[in-house]
Structure 1
Amino acid sequence: MPDEFVVRSLDEVRFWSRIMKEHSLFLRLGFRCEDTQLINEALQFQGLFEDIERRAHEFTVNTDPQTIREFNSEVHNAATHIWAFKRKVLGLILQCKLPGATNFPLLVDHVSREANYFRNRLEELNSGTLEPLHDAIIDENVFFLKIMADHAKFIGHLLDPSERKLVEQAREFSQDFDTLMFQAIDLSSMRPQSQTIPLLSQFVDENRVSVESLRDFKKTARDLIEACRIKSIIHPLLADHVFREAERFLFILDMFERSLSGIKVNKREILF
């Protein structure tokens, strides 16, 4: 039987190293041509996480756990460094030291939150201190609902203003996910009394419906962008990037739903 630690570690690293690689590209594209040092740093991170992603796919579920533990530590170090880079860039933007650059402050904060999430997951895996299910359900939803709300805002701002219907749809998704996020925060503040199976099941079900709708909207937008059928300044890879993150959230919600129902998750299903 494959080791659960190895399976979950490879799943996290394979998914998030690709995300970190793409963040590096998106940040680089948003810098001004004279920001050569920042551009070079972003290129270095892009290469670093591309290599990590490649190596993660070379391991198998039968790899020795100690080897994976050492790999996780190495990746954690890389995630910490890219988190620091992103926070540095955010500081420069908020201090008005990058006038004319096109990286939104919220976008830079957003990608730094994902880097921090990634390194925290690696710490939990290596220490063997994963959150209890009922805490994980609330905390993962608080995190990902904010991510989904941000995505809707970014899409709305990067679409051409003349795409009025799509811009309005993005605005509605932004409001919906802001509401869901605040509901999740309320549920979190009521812990542990709020952590009953009926409440958590309803919480997961309600969020799933909205995430599925947003996922479908993102897929449509991605396909239209790739076919050059709508007006926007959204990079096709960014459109696919946010679609994959919605799929990731749905995958996590599915695992939570099955766990609450008492259905055991097959370890091999985690590596999708």
Structure 2
Amino acid sequence: MNATGNEDSQNIDERITNEMFVVRSLDEIRFWSRIMKEHSLFLRLGFRAEDTQLIEEANQFYYLFEQIEQKSFSFTNQADPGQIRLFNSEVQQAATSIFLFKRKVLQLILTCRLPGANNFPLLVDHISREANYFRKRLIELNEGKLKPLADAIIKENVFFLRIMADHAKFIGHLLDPSERKLIDIARNFSNDFDELVFQARDLESMKPQSQTGPLLDQFLDQNRVSVASLRDFKKTARDLIEECKIKSIIHPLLADHVFREAERFLAIIDMFEAHLTGKKHSG
């Protein structure tokens, strides 16, 4: 009787683990494949007319990740884990390829072989970090690393806080110089998130002694406040850009792109907070 009960319990645990694996895998792929697709577009828009080979490569990546995004929606949360594991491997290879493409572009920019192009070196580095994050996430999922651990909390926040700091810098540089007030706001966000990145790295260097519940809880709460404020600023900027109410060279899709990434970070913070304390936040 007990043996049967234990066996049933193990089967239930396995099903739950499999379902978590499928849900998390599809969520990551649906979010990040769209991000990768849009990165391809932004890179293409920043190339010069004569950069035909780079433009063609960017277009190929756009269509590749568009196909991946579409394929991800052909699966349900009840999909066979084996199929999803194969899909993860396929997407991970694509993420690795676009990562290498982005680093190649960065090399060309930093060695002055694309004079007059409009892709900031930091922007290309930024989007390559996101591609590397995506490919590593898929590897971790296939290896079964699903549970958020204390060190993962710090690591994720270090990554996303820097992403948010970069976004503030990009917004400030892509606004028209006459938009002085908005540029000042973006600069303040940049400074705020630079400080948060340093704080997160300090906490990281103090591991494992820094991995206490109270410290991590306060860490997440503090970051949430700043990310929510930046998210709201991005939403306002996006809406104003779409309504042609401010002067900038920010593509409307880029404005929405950075807004969605802030929303993603808030969701991750809430997931970790729930894991730590059981609290629920509306974001």
1:147 lines up with 2:163 in the alignment: yes
- The CA distance in 1 between the partners of 2:20 and 2:223, in whole Å, is 27
Q: Which residue of 2 aligns with 1:46?
A: 62
TM-fit CA distance, 1:188: 0.1
Q: Deviations over 1:6-54 (max 9, x none)?
A: 0000000000000000000000000000000000000000000000000
TM-fit CA distance, 1:201: 0.2
- The CA distance in 2 between the partners of 1:130 and 1:104, in whole Å, is 35
Q: Which residue of 1 aligns with 2:190?
A: 174
TM-fit CA distance, 1:129: 2.9
Equivalent residue for 1:56, pick from 62, 66, 72:
72
Q: Which residue of 1 aligns with 2:212?
A: 196
Structure 1: segments with no counterpart, 5+ residues? 265-272
| AA aligned opposite 2:276 | L
Q: Which residue of 1 aligns with 2:108?
A: 92
Q: Which residue of 1 aligns with 2:4?
A: none
Q: Which residue of 2 aligns with 1:122?
A: 138
| AA aligned opposite 2:116 | G
Structure 2 matches for 1:210-225, cutoff 5 A?
A: 210-225=226-241
TM-fit CA distance, 1:155: 0.1
Q: Deviations over 1:250-270 (max 9, x none)?
A: 000011111111469xxxxxx
TM-fit CA distance, 1:57: 1.0
TM-fit CA distance, 1:130: 4.3
- The CA distance in 2 between the partners of 1:256 and 1:221, in whole Å, is 28
- The CA distance in 2 between the partners of 1:86 and 1:51, in whole Å, is 20
1:12 lines up with 2:40 in the alignment: no
Q: Deviations over 1:91-126 (max 9, x none)?
A: 000000000000000000000000000000000000
Structure 2: segments with no counterpart, 5+ residues? 1-14
Residues 74 and 167 of structure 1: is their aligned pair in 2 closer, same or farther, counting only changes over 3 Å?
A: same
Q: Which residue of 2 aligns with 1:233?
A: 249
Q: Is the 8 A contact 2:148 2:275 kept in 1?
A: no
Residues 151 and 138 of structure 1: is their aligned pair in 2 closer, same or farther, counting only changes over 3 Å?
A: same
TM-score, with normalisation over the residues of structure 1?
0.95
- The CA distance in 1 between the partners of 2:145 and 2:198, in whole Å, is 27
TM-fit CA distance, 1:131: 6.5
Q: Which residue of 2 aligns with 1:22?
A: 38
- The CA distance in 2 between the partners of 1:262 and 1:245, in whole Å, is 24
- The CA distance in 2 between the partners of 1:109 and 1:8, in whole Å, is 26
Q: Which residue of 2 aligns with 1:244?
A: 260
TM-fit CA distance, 1:58: 1.2
What is the aligned residue count? 265
Q: Which residue of 2 aligns with 1:36?
A: 52
Q: Is the 8 A contact 2:231 2:262 kept in 1?
A: yes
Q: Is the 8 A contact 2:41 2:62 kept in 1?
A: yes
Kindly name which structure, 1 or 2, has the bigger radius of gyration based on alpha carbons.
Answer: 2
Equivalent residue for 2:272, pick from 247, 256, 259:
256
| AA aligned opposite 1:71 | F
Taking only aligned residues, the RMSD between alpha carbons, in angstroms, comes to: 1.3
Q: Which residue of 2 aligns with 1:270?
A: none
